[in-house]
Amino acid sequence: MSPLAHRRFLKMHGAGNAIVVLDLRGTAVRVTPAEARAIAADVHSRFDQLMAVHDPVTPGTDAFMRIYNTDGSESGACGNGTRCVGYALLDDPAMARPAENGALTLETKAGLVAVKRITDRSFTVDMGQPRLRWDEIPLAEPFLDTRRIELQVGPIDDPILHSPAAVSMGNPHAIFFVDRDPDSYDLGRIGPLLEAHPIFPERANISIAEVTSRDTIKLRVWERGAGLTLACGTAACATVVAASRLRMIGRAARVALPGGELSIEWRADDHVLMTGPVYLEGEGTFSPDLFARIDG
């Protein structure tokens, strides 16, 4: 039987991004890709990202997070999920441990992430520094300027989308800036084609963004390993960084996604801060039946 059977989980969301938080501290249990896919397929535990919370690795941190997409692959960062983990570690009766001033330091395979409570249901996450060099993102070939890379969708003389910005926020992003509503593009068709494009050796999150003012952006995201999503915190961060580099905005903006709004600031010290809400939908335990096919 899977060691995840009968384990408690929290079902949450951050700006519409469906999150499952699973506490594995005090154990050696690791979620397998097959288990992640089984959890994602169940109506009670369906998620965009699964946040598995483990014991700290680096001294002075509060926990280590492993982040799983619906296809079982791992991600290095998830801003909306990190806010949800912050809430769980500060407020959930079964998970909470004392923390000074409502602040936590969490760790993922992409590095350290600071989380701070702003209000009861709002948290700020320091997403760290964006990675802008082609080999850091990474891209499959050199681009001296990643503000615009050579990639397009559609006929060469009349492309539907072209020249995206490329940014890593612990995971790779390609952002297409457009001058009309992102909803008018068939991202459900375009997204999977571009996610797996050879220019992205680790695949990529694909975004379509419309800058609606000097401090507002409308954004839709096809998330690597998850598909169309109501919100993606790292995509919102990458989009603000990219728009600022192109001088379309300043260094801060409100990003409107289908599931809600996030406030993003690219500070002068090069760190990107994301502020947004968290919502607790409920809790449950994993049925052994979820994993019966895997065990069989």
* Residue 209 φ then ψ, to 5°: -130, 140
By CB neighbour count within 10 A (0-12 exposed, 13-18 middle, 19+ buried), where does 152 fall? middle
**Are residues 21 and 54 located together in one domain of the fold?**
yes
User: Phi and psi for 245 in degrees, rounded to 5?
Assistant: -65, -30
The one catalytic residue in 39, 63, 65, 78 is: 78
Same domain, 224 and 259: yes
Whether cis (ω within 30° of 0) applies to the bond prior to 164 is no
**Active-site annotation holds for 78:** yes
Determine, yes or no, domain membership for 229: yes
| Average pLDDT rounded to a whole number, residues 220-240 | 95
Residue 292 belongs to a domain? no
What's the whole-number mean pLDDT along residues 120-149? 96
Answer yes or no: is 143 within a domain: no
Phi, psi of 183 (to 5 degrees): -65, -15
Catalytic residue among 95, 217, 232, 235: 232
3 state DSSP class of 74: strand
* Position 86 pLDDT exceeds 50: yes
Is residue 14 over pLDDT 90?
A: no
Same domain, 69 and 24: yes
Per-residue model confidence as pLDDT tens digits over 69-84:
999 999 988 999 999 9
Specify the CATH number for the domain of residue 158.
3.10.310.10
pTM above 0.95, yes or no: no
**251: in domain:** yes
Q: How many domains does the chain have?
A: 2
Is 84 noted as a catalytic residue in this protein? no
